Amino acid sequence: MQRDQLVSYLNNLLAIDEFKDYAPNGLQVEGKAEIKKLVFGVTASQALIDQAIAQQADMIVVHHGYFWKNEPTTITGIKYQRIKKLIDHDINLVGYHLPLDAHPQLGNNAQLAKLWGLEDITPQPGLVSLVRLGRLSEPMSIELFKQQVASSLAREPLHLPGGPQQVQTISWCSGGAQGYIQQAIDWQADVYISGEVSEQTTHMAAESGIHYLAAGHHATETWGVKALAELVKKEFNLQADYIECVNPV
């Protein structure tokens, strides 16, 4: 398949023009024009690039790419080493950040809802609404729900208690979205889940009557790229493999 055709399809699918993002979405580093083999991953790290080279991939698709706002614009050090390897091996790098969090079917948040058995009841969700509100089919204890989250993500979440013993309304947002806990509080959710945690999150949870689960930035953001890889494989009959580069954060 031609690179430009595939990138155009993905750009339209993920509605990238609807987002004001922190990094460019779509093609970030240009490589060969014809695509036969793709590698998908969460972050365009050196480890992922090396595995893509070993697999003779023509394109890497990630959630965390390059050229973030407020980072140095010079291509030196680690950034130089990564981009040099991409160019030396003629590999395209394609990144989708917020569009791959928010997509209503393929996005990280939509995939987490499926994983945890949540009915999405987000008020006025809209296309680019990142923070979600959901409901479990039946109330369960916070301990049982925490075990469900841990099992699904293969990672024990950090639990900051504050909510009721029995929980049913769950708010969540993948990645580093701990700062959005106020939205979950305003929705009167029993639990808010994101990837990371800040010092003040402890006090926000305790004083606002909500449980907070820091479930891992990486762990909550593998799902969108996995879903996108499966779609590309099915739609275009291309080799498209997700590669896990373990990250405990």
Question: Does residue 156 have a pLDDT over 90?
Answer: yes
pLDDT confidence of residue 124:
74
pLDDT confidence of residue 243:
98
Report the candidate in 202, 180, 208, 203 with the shortest Cα–Cα distance to residue 193: 180
Residues 6+ apart with CB under 8 A from 155: 215, 216, 219, 248
Q: Which long-range contacts (CB under 8 A, 24 or more apart) does 229-235 make?
A: 229/38, 229/40, 229/61, 231/106, 232/6, 232/10, 232/38, 232/61
- Give mean pLDDT, residues 72-91: 97
Question: Phi-psi bin for 187: left (phi > 0), alpha (psi -120 to 50), beta?
Answer: alpha
Residue 180 — very low, low, confident or very high, per pLDDT cuts 50/70/90?
very high
Residue 155 · residue 215 · CB < 8 Å? yes
Residue 77 — very low, low, confident or very high, per pLDDT cuts 50/70/90?
very high
pLDDT confidence of residue 128:
52
- Give mean pLDDT, residues 139-155: 98
Question: Does residue 127 have a pLDDT over 60?
Answer: no
Judge residue 119's burial from the number of C-beta atoms within 10 Å of its C-beta, 0-12 exposed, 13-18 middle, 19 or more buried: exposed
Residue 47 — very low, low, confident or very high, per pLDDT cuts 50/70/90?
very high
pLDDT confidence of residue 86:
98
Question: Does residue 83 have a pLDDT over 80?
Answer: yes
- Give mean pLDDT, residues 107-130: 87
pLDDT confidence of residue 129:
76
One-letter amino acid identity for 112?
L
Task: Copy the structure tokens of residue 12.
Answer: 């339209």
Task: Copy the structure tokens of residue 194.
Answer: 């994101």
Report the candidate in 105, 104, 106, 82 with the shortest Cα–Cα distance to residue 93: 82
Residue 227 · residue 235 · CB < 8 Å? no
Terminal alpha carbon distance of the chain? 35
pLDDT confidence of residue 125:
60
User: To the nearest whole number, what is the mean pLDDT of the chain?
Assistant: 96
Report the candidate in 237, 225, 176 with the shortest Cα–Cα distance to residue 65: 225
Q: How many CB atoms lie within 10 A of CB 247?
A: 15
